[in-house]
Structure 1
Amino acid sequence: METISRVKFCLYTWGANSYGQLGQGHVEDQSLPQVADITTLQAEVTCAISGGGGHSVVITENGKVFVCGQNNKGQLGLGHTIDIYTLELCPGLRQKITNVSCGWDFTLLLSDTRQILACGSNKFGQLGIGETLQHSANWLIVESIKDPVVSAAAGLRHSLAVTASGFVYQWGTGLFSHAKRVLSVSKVPSHLTSKLPCLVPGLEEKAPCMVTAGMAHCSYLTENGDLFMWGSNKHGQLMSSDPFVSSPISLKRCLLGGEKIIYAWSGWTHNVIQTESGRVFTWGRGNYGQLGHMVSTNHTSKLLSHDFVTEGGSQETCLPAEVKALRGATQIACGSEHNLATVGSCLLSWGWNEHGMCGDGSHTDVLEPCLIPRLNPLVIGCGAGHSLALCTVTAPSR
């Protein structure tokens, strides 16, 4: 009898697993990719994956939401605060969901009606609902943004959104402590202190593409290929001479060979962008290898210390450098200090590896993109210290 190959899908997860965020039914870290329990997903096709400090969220093509992991602040949106060790369907969502971004202990969803839904911790106002709740285990609509939202991003303790009309909003006070170290409290702009969505000045009348959020920095990419950045510059992630930048500044295209940027990603303290020709550049903190290229010890140590700033010196600028192994990447995902990328049919990882999130079987930091063998990735995602990849597996059938 002739044997015919059929394709099935498997969700592989690895890295930190203290709260069951790998969806494998236990809480043991994994330094090699292992198959997650996706019984509840059944025949659902995954279109987006994201992770937070200890939780994971999977979005399917038909707009369903599946979650697992840490839930102490209700960040899974299940109506309770019990941790979940395998993927579970979020019940009661009346809208189809198209995308997701996870903060440390909160979650933002983008619906097909272009609204933002939020749940989890609101201690810093990161849910965008004001100060009415410290946390929510139920999904809440961010009602004060009236225009259709095209992109949303969750940082450590702050959130961003950009609307179809090109207005960029920020909320959550996660950047306030960074700002007040440099600025007097009276000079900290309102978009860094608001617990409701607040317009970020200086970005009006620009065609929107997407927003990204790091631990304490922000970026906004326009359809014209211009990247604007603001927030903490402690590790050179804004390429400024100032330790904190309160108003958006633009990345000069001459640093990228004059090319337009078509996509941007943020880790906690580093940035990754891809240009129109497929070239990938990184900059910011690099001491864990998260930039995918060698950073000089002198340069790194200088970026990690602020003594030279407080003593009146000028901070060294960290410039974008191309990671040639990533040219032509079709997907990139950033965790806190590690990354994943798909190049052709290959899955690559690099950066911080303390919990095995680079998937090479070790706990040694990976300094440049390295192949994770035997996986054929379709959709990839990162949490702060864990990794996820939906892969195809060809199995014989008769």
Structure 2
Amino acid sequence: MKVLASVLLLLSIAVSALADQSTLMLSTSKASYTSGSRAVLIARSMLTPSDSKSEFVFKAKLNSTNVKITSISSSVAYTVTNELPAGNFVWQVQTFVQNKYDAQKLNETIVFFGKEVLNLQRKIEAETNAQVLAALNAQLARDNSIIQRARAQLDKIRSLVSTQSINFSVNPPTFGLANRAVPTLSIVPDNISGIYLVGAAAQFSVTLSGTTFDGEAADWTYDAEIPAVGSKPAIELTKTVNSATQVTFNSAVFASSSAGWRQFVPKFKYRLKSQYTKFKEAVGLAVIRKNEFIKDKNLSNDPKEIAYYQSLISEIDLLIAALSDLGLSYQPFMAASYDFKVKDASLPKGFQITPPVDGFVLSEGGLSKTFQIRLTSDPDSDVFVTFTNDSQITAVAPVVFNSHNWNIPQSVSIQAFDDNISESDHSSSLQISSTGGDYNGITSSILITILDDDVWSSVSIAADSGCAIRKGALYCWGGNEYGQLGMGDTVTRTVPTLVPTMDSGVLKVVGNGFHRCAIKNLQVYCWGRNNKGQIGINSSGTNVLTPFLVSGAGTVSDIAAGNEASCSIKSSSKNVFCWGDNSYGQAGVNSTATSLLVPTLVPGGFQAKSIATGPTSSCFVTLDNKVYCSGGNGAGEVGDGTTIKRISPVLVVGSDSLGTINSVTVAAGSRQGCLGYQNGVKCWGDGIYYSMGTGVNGTYAIPASVVGISDNVVALSAGTANVCAVVSDRVKCWGWGNSGQNGNGSTTSAQYATEIADTYNKATFTASGGYSTCAIIDGNVKCWGVGSSYKLGNGIASDSLTPVTIVNPSLFRKNRDLL
């Protein structure tokens, strides 16, 4: 204690001797700062301690807040602030004198146990065991107590020598920018247009208006770049420094991969000379100080001492980094860049078009589709691309390209309107043209396929009338003695006329005699003659003049209407139901009742996909591609190899080995059945007038192959001793032809399948009945054969040996009944 008292006495005498003298000088690296910058504050002691055991130590505050001050020698210390806001600041520094050996020991204790405290805090955060936590917290309290005692002892051995302060200001950014004298930078390219061709090079002259900042001299470095853009590589530059204020940059030759908009970016940097000189000296002293600490650290074996020196080294490193960044390093000079274009003149001028996913195919009145278009080369100026729409294409909005977006696809919407004309699927075109600069007069065109929604989808021809469906609406024509046209009267119609209650939702129409049935909204409607209960209204004798809902049939997937009988397939179960005439057992319900007044289930659990019925028999195709028939079998029309009457369905011989069966038909006016499959047509029953297509008349109790058809059959129909099929988009007919029902221009019966006499692209459907046949050809309904009662639909009551087109109702307005 006597020794400590003696030390304090000596310090007191030294302090008294220094108190009246100017012992400390404070300064800043600048007279003022700009908001967001960091200030460098320097404290310099003007005296040295009176003995070798003493040293000066500094404490600093910035506006009353303690800040770090780092000594770089025994008499100089620096503070580097964080980024400062605008305002006025007071930097205060207190100088203390202390015994450096005692202070070091105390500081070693503080640093060592400070590290221990940090380690303990990390362990406490991760620990979950209560007992361990208690022990760790106890240790933490002991270490903090040691640190507090060491700091208290450190305060006791220090004596205040002096307190000095200095004021400085930090200006707002607007004030700084408005009043700073800074140089400007200008860029002049060798091509004023700013457009360079692939294979050429560019030169950029960069000029500084001066080299000083606020009158302070600065050192400069000169660099620039043309950076990469996406997949386009950076472009190499070489420089020539012509003077301190003027530099020329030359680019490498532009490759095709460099084409497009590019940017020349100056990368000039500066360093204030006065700052550099000041900070270089400070950094030099700091490095010397650091090396001294490193040497002392390396000579020590005491953990506390080593930790202490390491803390001093780290503190010096932070200061060196801050000073180097502020005064020794070059700072970027923010300046404008220059945009220019590299153009590839070898690219052809034109349009690159990406079609819609499913191609350029539009449906009349359907949804719009989108394709994409872009230019194939960089234009000299804005390019206006316009579209001239051909027939049935709605107006298309123009698009504009320029040097920035020429290679970016733009979307164009196209749509076809409904012309209410049946012309089958056809082509239209969209003409493309451009104006502007080097794209003046560039043209192209797009071929568009338009799907005709005005085509007929189903047709039926019967004893003296016909019906067909278009756009879900039903049109009928011809004789109407029994109300078979569904118009609510018995007046003949010479041309196709809209059935008033069937103007939408109609999917299929059938009928061979004097009544008809149709599927509308998946339900069955029947009308016309009802002598055998074929309308399905639970009564017979009274004709039905308008379509009547057959409620007992439910929702259906297919229907058939023979001379005086009707059948349907239920959608859910695929079971077959029949009603009407059963004189020959053709209903297949295992009953001898001559007529059925409501839909009656065909027993046996059959599941069918298509069905047909005629004057004496009915047939259907099952889901597993087998054909079953029932009815009178006097001519072998059931196809089971016998002539025995069948009141329940029996398998048609050989039908279970043909693969996929697409259709089945029963002759409308004779005792015959046929099926169409993937390799042709097979027929059975009465083969009068060569209706078997084998070239031989006679009765066939088992199916025989039709000569002349070996491909997939998509549609099939049979009239009176006459059959027609659609195969490979063509219509072929055979059998009786006395009234031209084979459509080949002759009244001679055809022994084999013979193509109709007509010019067309594609047929999709056929129907036969009463010595006439109709087909859907190129979307139109064409009919041939007997034409009495205007049944051919062409407005003429005479026969035709070749196909004639039915009269199209004017504009096909579904709400207009044309007589």
TM-score range, shorter chain: 0.7 to 0.9
CA shift, 1:346, in A, is 2.4
Match of 1:71 in 2: 530
Match of 2:742 in 1: 291
Q: Specify which of 245, 251, 265 is matched with residue 706 of structure 2.
A: 251
Is 2:818 aligned against 1:393? no
Contact 1:79 1:137 in 2 (8 A): yes
Contact 1:282 1:322 in 2 (8 A): yes
Distance (whole Å) between structure 1 residues aligned to residue 472 and residue 602 of structure 2: 34
Matched residue count: 341
Deviations along 1:71-123, one digit per CA (max 9) or x if unpaired, are 11110111112211111222243x31111111110001122121111000111
Is 2:507 aligned against 1:24? no
Contact 1:150 1:210 in 2 (8 A): no
Match of 1:265 in 2: 717
Query: TM-score, normalization: structure 1?
Result: 0.78
Contact 2:636 2:642 in 1 (8 A): no
Q: Specify which of 361, 370, 393 is matched with residue 804 of structure 2.
A: 370
Q: Trace 1:1-398 onto structure 2 (pairs within 5 A).
A: 10-38=473-501, 41=502, 44-60=504-520, 62-81=521-540, 82-93=542-553, 95-112=554-571, 113-144=573-604, 146-173=605-632, 175-176=633-634, 178=635, 189-190=641-642, 192-207=644-659, 208-214=661-667, 215-222=670-677, 224-240=678-694, 241-252=696-707, 255-256=708-709, 259-276=711-728, 278-295=729-746, 299-300=748-749, 318-323=751-756, 324-325=758-759, 327-375=761-809, 392-393=812-813
Deviations along 1:159-185, one digit per CA (max 9) or x if unpaired, are 111212232211110x41x459xxxxx
Contact 2:620 2:629 in 1 (8 A): yes
Structure 2 CA distance for partners of 1:5 and 1:239, relative to 1, 3 Å: closer
Structure 2 CA distance for partners of 1:333 and 1:392, relative to 1, 3 Å: farther
Contact 2:663 2:676 in 1 (8 A): yes
Query: Matched residue of 1:114: which SS?
Result: coil
Contact 2:552 2:598 in 1 (8 A): no
Contact 1:191 1:198 in 2 (8 A): no
Distance (whole Å) between structure 1 residues aligned to residue 527 and residue 685 of structure 2: 31
Query: Matched residue of 1:330: which SS?
Result: strand
Contact 1:70 1:84 in 2 (8 A): yes
* Counterpart residue identity of residue 736, structure 2: R
Deviations along 1:224-271, one digit per CA (max 9) or x if unpaired, are 23321111111111123241111111124xx24x54333322222211
Q: Percent identity?
A: 23
Deviations along 1:27-79, one digit per CA (max 9) or x if unpaired, are 233332233231xx46x41111011311111102x311111101111101111
Deviations along 1:128-147, one digit per CA (max 9) or x if unpaired, are 11234211111101112x24
Structure 2 CA distance for partners of 1:37 and 1:198, relative to 1, 3 Å: same
Structure 2 CA distance for partners of 1:248 and 1:28, relative to 1, 3 Å: same
Contact 1:172 1:192 in 2 (8 A): no
Distance (whole Å) between structure 2 residues aligned to residue 136 and residue 345 of structure 1: 37
Distance (whole Å) between structure 1 residues aligned to residue 767 and residue 510 of structure 2: 9
Structure 2 CA distance for partners of 1:101 and 1:80, relative to 1, 3 Å: same
Runs of 5+ in structure 1 lacking a partner? 181-187, 301-316, 377-390
Query: Matched residue of 1:319: which SS?
Result: strand
Which structure dedicates a bigger proportion of its chain to helix?
Answer: 2
* Counterpart residue identity of residue 754, structure 2: A
Q: Which has the higher contact order (CA 8 A, sep 6+)?
A: 1
Whichever of the two has the greater Rg, that structure is 2
Tell me the C-alpha RMSD between the 2 structures. Answer: 2.7
Distance (whole Å) between structure 2 residues aligned to residue 279 and residue 13 of structure 1: 25
CA shift, 1:158, in A, is 0.5
